[in-house]
Amino acid sequence: MERYNLVVIGAGSGGLVVAAGGAGLGARVALAEKHALPFTPEGGTPVRAMGGDCLQYGCVPSKALLRAAKAAHAAREAGRFAIRGASDPGPQDLGAVMDYVHGVQAHIAPADSVERFEGLGVNVLLGAGKLRSAHEVEVNGTTVWGRHVVVATGSRANIPPIPGLEETGYLTNESVWHARKLPGSFLVMGGGPIGTEIGQAFARLGSKVTIVSSSPHICPKEDADVAAVLVKQLKAEGVTIHDEASATKVAKRDGRKVVTVEPKSGAEFEVEVDEILVATGRRPNIEGLNLEGAGVAFSKRGIEIDAKCRTNVPSVWAIGDVAGPYLFTHWAGYQAGVVLRNTLSPVALASCDVSNTPWITYTDPEISHVGLGEEEAKRKGIPHRVFRASFGHNDRAICDGTSEDNFMKVLVDAKGRILGATIVHPHAGDLLGEIALAKKNGLRLSALGSVIHAYPSLSEIHGAVAREYLRTSLTPGRKNILTKLAAFLRR
């Protein structure tokens, strides 16, 4: 039986980081992956790419699709910037757009390929991994031994048991990338990041999109005032949104798909569409792992781990979507680093920093967030103050013609330390890093006011929100002193 320092099950973003990092540190690593898809980079040699949901069905193809849709939207909006000859480009060729998406995937695929990882010294085992014991993993009838076993099998779309859905047919975040014909009408079940991102993309490409969301508003993890900005933009682009509603049955009628929608209040109604996307959450890939046989604790939410990513079985670890609590590529990669320190380093065990985990919804405008939200703080009774700055007063945003509705808000404690922040803007994701760094290092919001931000730049929003805080920090006594000083200097 081959023996390894690390045996990794699943070659998604988290599993790949563990495998590459472990091999780079001199460990013997085996990596089991059952989905290695063929990709051929333009002008390159075909490779067998791993990468999991991120490369094959999630982050990479969705962002490429959003970029293509943004180009179509920009053409439609060009007249707003006095560009002559601009007109509505009409419905797009979805097949051509998907060719672009697949080209992006092929460009990235070599970095996640079997060939690259074998070159790094990783023993790649193509097949489904199954726990035989706390240290043994079986792949295609062959069993290997690992001092540590890392489960990183990811998640998949959660399909609700709606009558008629299976018979009628639907798309998920996996199958949508095989679509070649743009649907004239498109219904999205679910108002989370996947549903809103793909929904907006299809709307910009020319579909008539309807989003049915069971939550009070789309993007339910965000505050209502944050989601409202996105809702306004989506509706302006022709998207219909039904909040606090659910699809109760699906049927075929005259070659089209008919979805019965039941709102929380009011009578049910039908929506007739050409295609359906199911984006009603995710479920962990725990089937076939023999977790029970190895004594690993789990629930329907996934494998149970502690803050160090360790399961109740000391030699077994779990990261990424299969364990949570966040279902982000960057979270899985971060957890992978924690596991590497905990399995290969002689120093004290590392723990995950959940409170400083950022996330981004890549709609237009984007929504980026780190730390505590305003509604969450109220719900938990956490003392806080909220400070806001509007991009309507940011000169670069004005030049770019972005909406005055876009804003940044920051929560601070009694001493001005940052508890959380949210940004709503087309470049919100790129703007989050500065305040995430400040929060991570325990800085007060006022610290952002001492940074020289280039003019005109969107980053000036950090200084603007810091100034809002500084205005409130002036006590009557300090204000009186400054007033007298200013009067003296004017003499």
The residues facing 245 across adjacent strands are 263
**Omega of the bond leading into 46 within 30 degrees of 0 (cis):** no
Is the pLDDT reported for residue 103 higher than 90?
yes
The 10s digit of each residue's pLDDT in 224-240 is 999 999 999 999 999 99
Angle subtended at Cα 137 by Cα 134 and Cα 138, rounded to the nearest 5 degrees: 140
Cα 309 to chain centroid distance, Å, stands at 20
Mean pLDDT of the chain: 95
- What is the model's pLDDT at position 283? 97
> 288: which 2 tokens?
């076939």
Q: Measure the CA dihedral 171/175/180/183, to 10°.
A: 10
Round to the nearest angstrom and report the end-to-end CA distance of the chain. 88
The 10s digit of each residue's pLDDT in 106-120 is 999 999 999 999 999
Instruction: Give SS3 for 389.
Output: strand
Instruction: Give SS3 for 30.
Output: strand
Identify the residue whose tokens are 């980053």: 459
**How far, in Å, are 28, 105, 117, 201, 419 from residue 340 at the CA level?**
13, 27, 17, 37, 29
Backbone angles phi, psi at 216, to 5 degrees: -60, -30
- What is the model's pLDDT at position 345? 85
Euclidean distance between CA atoms 316 and 310, whole angstroms: 6
| Mean pLDDT value of segment 459-469 | 97
Task: Mark out the alpha helices in 418-459 (DSSP H runs).
Answer: 428-440
255: left (phi over 0), alpha (psi -120 to 50) or beta: left
The 10s digit of each residue's pLDDT in 370-411 is 999 999 999 999 999 999 999 999 999 999 999 999 999 999
| Mean pLDDT value of segment 284-299 | 98
Following DSSP, what letter does each residue of 159-178 receive, concatenated?
----TTHHHH--B-TTGGGG
Alpha-carbon dihedral sign for residues 222, 225, 228, 230: negative
- pTM (2 d.p.): 0.94
Is residue 68 within 8 A of residue 28, CB to CB? The reply is: no
Euclidean distance between CA atoms 391 and 395, whole angstroms: 8
Identify the residue whose tokens are 């180009």: 71
Euclidean distance between CA atoms 15 and 197, whole angstroms: 26
- What is the model's pLDDT at position 129? 97
Backbone angles phi, psi at 379, to 5 degrees: -65, -35
Which candidate, 186, 277, 191, 190, places its Cα nearest to that of 227? Answer: 191
**For the chain, which domains are there?**
3-156+283-352 (3.50.50.60), 165-281 (3.50.50.60), 365-472 (3.30.390.30)
The 10s digit of each residue's pLDDT in 184-199 is 999 999 999 999 999 9
The 10s digit of each residue's pLDDT in 127-147 is 999 999 999 999 999 999 999
What is Dmax (Cα atoms) for the chain? 90
Q: Are strands 302-303 and 366-371 parallel, antiparallel or unpaired?
A: unpaired
102 membership: H or E segment, kind and range: helix 94-108
Is the pLDDT reported for residue 482 higher than 60?
no
Instruction: Give SS3 for 387.
Output: strand
Identify the residue whose tokens are 């960057």: 330
> 237: which 2 tokens?
């682009």
- What is the model's pLDDT at position 347? 77
DSSP annotation of 85: T
Is the pLDDT reported for residue 473 higher than 90?
no
- What is the model's pLDDT at position 470? 94
| Mean pLDDT value of segment 153-162 | 97
